[in-house]
Amino acid sequence: MKLPPVEYEAPTTVAEAVDLLIAHLDEASVLAGGQSLIPLLALRLARPAVLIDINGIDELSGVSAADGQVTIGAMTREYVAEESETIADAVPLLAAALPLIGHEAIRSRGTIGGSLAHADPAAELPAVARALDAEFVVRGPSGERVIPAARWFEGYLTTSRRPDEILLEVRFPVARRGTGTSFQEVARRHGDFAIVGLATSLTLSGGAISDARLAFAGMSDVPVRAAAAEELLVGERPSAELFDEAARRATGDIDPPADLHGSPDYRKKVAAALARRGLRAAADNARERQ
Ligand SMILES: Cc1cc2nc3c(=O)[nH]c(=O)nc-3n(C[C@H](O)[C@H](O)[C@H](O)COP(=O)(O)OP(=O)(O)OC[C@H]3O[C@@H](n4cnc5c(N)ncnc54)[C@H](O)[C@@H]3O)c2cc1C
């Protein structure tokens, strides 16, 4: 299907991109890898008057580590992040999730910032960002602001980015020693969006769990943390009984949506199974990393 007519701008600096956003506000869409936006345009589900193509802004790409954080530029391609040794070593949960996004052709164009700005609740990266309390750095007319993941995802395909702001980079904390991670998901076919996904991170200190993080994809209109399960896990020693109870609590207060892919009850059952599986895998992985 052909795209509708649309004006096209291709800034080469962040400052130019912000000026264009200020000029066009809600009439503009930022074009990153185009893997979500172009299909939306083709299907007439998005009708911006102007596309602001940020592919020519070199300063938006790159991965760096400093001060206990790994910073990933918004235009860093998903496959570049997937091949980054810095991410594999320091943010293993992200490294585990990246290969599960679509297919290689999609990851070769799709960007880290694009996935997180698009904020599809079934996507892998929003769940990882929520689990790890990532920070989002945006720039607008009054400079930069840093938004924690808990406030970034506001609703279905909606973030707290204002129309005159561009997402510059996302910061993830470096995993502490003894941290094990796992990304589990159930999808109809390899490469499809997950029906339910789960990002899990467990830190073991002296045999007990000192930090637990679980964030679901596909269970709400935003990625959701399983706070009751996390609370139960901290201070306890990993065991099958503990993980069974955590899986029950993880899904206790979530009211998942019904759609073509599954009823709320089906989603809850899948989520509990993923929680057990994810916790076991993360605990095994944590023991290996101690
Ligand atoms: C067949 C197919 C299968 C897929 N499967 C999966 C999957 O399994 N899991 C998954 O997570 N994703 C999947 N995707 C989506 C893919 O990961 C996309 O790359 C991603 O969602 C969007 O990234 P993008 O760089 O292409 O962004 P675009 O499509 O260019 O943009 C997406 C949205 O983000 C906004 N945006 C992008 N960058 C910025 C920025 N820097 N500042 C402000 N706004 C910005 C755009 O304006 C737009 O609204 C799939 C896509 C396809 C086509």
pLDDT in tens, 52-83: 999 999 999 999 999 999 999 999 999 999 99
DSSP letter at 43?
T
The yes-or-no verdict on residue 4 having pLDDT over 90 is: no
Say if ligand 1 is within 6 A of residue 129 CB. Answer: no
The CA distance from 238 to 45, in Å, is 46
- Exposure of 74 in the CB half-sphere (CA atoms within 13 A): 27
Tens-digit pLDDT profile for residues 79-98: 999 999 999 999 999 999 99
Atom of ligand 1 nearest to the CA of 46: 49
The yes-or-no verdict on residue 191 having pLDDT over 90 is: no
**According to the model, what pLDDT value does residue 39 have?**
94
Which band of pLDDT confidence, cut at 50, 70 and 90, is reported for residue 260? Answer: confident
User: What's the mean pLDDT in 14-24?
Assistant: 98
Q: From ligand 1's centre to the CA of 202, what distance in Å?
A: 28
pTM for this one?
Answer: 0.97
The packing angle between helices 240-252 and 264-288, to 10°, is 140
The yes-or-no verdict on residue 26 having pLDDT over 90 is: yes
Q: From ligand 1's centre to the CA of 49, what distance in Å?
A: 19
**According to the model, what pLDDT value does residue 274 have?**
98
Say if ligand 1 is within 6 A of residue 34 CB. Answer: yes
Helix (H, G, I), strand (E, B) or coil at 165: coil
Say if ligand 1 is within 6 A of residue 128 CB. Answer: no
**According to the model, what pLDDT value does residue 98 have?**
98
Tens-digit pLDDT profile for residues 193-208: 899 999 999 999 999 9
Atom of ligand 1 nearest to the CA of 60: 41
The yes-or-no verdict on residue 259 having pLDDT over 90 is: no
The CA distance from 64 to 158, in Å, is 27
Which band of pLDDT confidence, cut at 50, 70 and 90, is reported for residue 256? Answer: very high
Q: Mean pLDDT in the chain? A: 96
- Exposure of 39 in the CB half-sphere (CA atoms within 13 A): 6
Which band of pLDDT confidence, cut at 50, 70 and 90, is reported for residue 258? Answer: confident
Tens-digit pLDDT profile for residues 102-117: 999 999 999 999 999 9
Are the beta carbons of 246 and 233 closer than 8 angstroms?
yes
**According to the model, what pLDDT value does residue 3 have?**
84
**According to the model, what pLDDT value does residue 1 have?**
72
Q: Whose CA is nearest to atom 28 of ligand 1?
A: 34
The yes-or-no verdict on residue 290 having pLDDT over 80 is: no
Say if ligand 1 is within 6 A of residue 285 CB. Answer: no
Query: Based on the number of CB atoms within 10 Å of its own CB, is 242 exposed (0-12), middle (13-18) or buried (19 or more)?
Result: middle
Say if ligand 1 is within 6 A of residue 74 CB. Answer: yes
